[in-house]
Every structure is written in structure tokens, then in C-alpha cells.
Amino acid sequence: VSCYSCHGAVNEMKVVYQHEPQSMKWCLDCHRAPENHLRPPDQVFNLNWKPASRQEQYELGMRFKQEWDVNPPVTCGGCHR
């Protein structure tokens, strides 16, 4: 998951602002469906990388999810310690 997914395009911000709601639901949305945010490992720090289409993102994401067994925790203890 890239920095971009949570913090937005910080490289294009004049003044840094909160791009995403950062609420628990927002966290869980991604934890439940990580395929929407997974990208090739070499593009993690590339804030300008964009998938060609939603379809491509989905396909890429599903592939990585399966290959790496991406299975983010959704129990409370994953974050609340």
C-alpha cells in the first residue's frame, strides 16, 4: 500500500492537509478490501503512479492479494492495543 492511499498526493500539496477522513470505517474499508489499494512494490513510494483503470487496479490488487496472502486484521486488536 502506497503512502498515497492514506495521505494523498502530498507532493502536490502547497500546504499539507488531511486528504482522507482517517476514521475507523475508512481504515476498515481498506482492511476488508485491500485489493483496491495494492500496487507493485516498486511503485509504493511513487506518488504519481496511477493504475490505468479501475479494472486494472482490481486485477493487480487481486493478484498481489493472492500471491502474498494479504489478509489484513479486522479484529480490534489489529490496531487497538
Partner 1 sequence: MKRVFHHPPRPEKPSLWRSLAELENSPGFEAVLQREFPRGADVYQDGGLTKRDFMKLLGASMSLAGIGLAGCRRPEAYLVPFNKGVEWTIPGKFLYYATSMPLREGSMPLIVSTVDGRPVKVEGNPLHPLSNGGTDAFAQASILDLYDPNRAKVIKQNGAEASQESFDSFLKELSGAGGEGLAFLVERKNSPTRDRLRAELEARFPGMIWCEYEPLGTPQAEEAVAASFERGVRLVPKFERADVVVALDSEFLNSGDKGVGLAQGFFSRRSPDQRGAPMNRLYVVENHYTGTGGLADHRYRCKASLIGEFTRQLATKIATLTGDSGLVSVLGACPKAQATFDEAWLSECANDLAAIPGRSIVVVGEQQPSWVQILGLAVNQALGNIGTTIVGVATDEKRGGSISDLAAAIKAGTVKTLFVLGGNPAYNAPADLDFSALVKNVPQSVRLGLFEDETSKLCRWHVPASHYLESWGDVCAYDGTYSVIQPMILPLWNGVSELEILAQLAGMPKPEGPALIRETFEQKFNADPEKWNTVVRVGFAPGSEWPEAYLSFSAPQAAAAIKDVKPVGDGLELVFLRSSSVDDGRYANNSWLQETPDFETKVTWDNVALISPATAKKLGVRGNNFGPIYQVAEKLGNDIDFDVVADLIEIKSPSGASVVAAAYIAPGHADDSISLALGYGRTGVSALFEGVGFDAYPLRSTEAWRFLTGVEVTVARGNYPLAQTQEHRSMEGRDLFREGTIERYKQDPKFAQTMGMDGHIPPNISLYTHPELTAAEQWGMTVDLNTCVGCNACVVACQAENNIPVVGKEQVRRNRDMAWIRIDRYFAGEPEDPEMLAQAVMCQHCENAPCETVCPVNATVHSEDGLNLMAYNRCIGTRYCSNNCPWKVRRFNYFDYNQRPLDQLYAGPLAKKGMANSLQMSKNPNVTVRMRGVMEKCTFCIQRIEEAKIARLVEAGARNKNEVPVREFKTACQQACPSDSLVFGNIRDMKSRVARNRSSDRAYVMLKYLNTEPRVSYLARIKNPNPKMPDANRVGMANGQPHGHGEPAEEGHGSEGHESPQEAHH
Quickly tell me which residue has 482492511 as its cell: 31
Within 25-54, the residues that bind partner 1 by CB under 8 A are 41
- 18 interacts with partner 1 by CB under 8 A: no
- Name the residue among 15, 11, 6 with its Cα closest to residue 36: 6
**Is 23 among the residues that bind partner 1 (CB under 8 A)?**
no
**DSSP-based helix, strand, coil % in the chain, nearest 5:** 50, 0, 50
Based on the shown chain and the rule CB under 8 A, indicate whether residue 68 belongs to the binding site for partner 1.
yes
Residue 75 is a binding residue for partner 1 (CB under 8 A): yes
Residue of the chain from 15, 17, 55, 77 that contacts partner 1 (CB under 8 A):
77
SS3 assignment, position 40? coil
The residue ranges that bind partner 1 (CB under 8 A) are 41, 67-69, 73, 75-78, 80-81
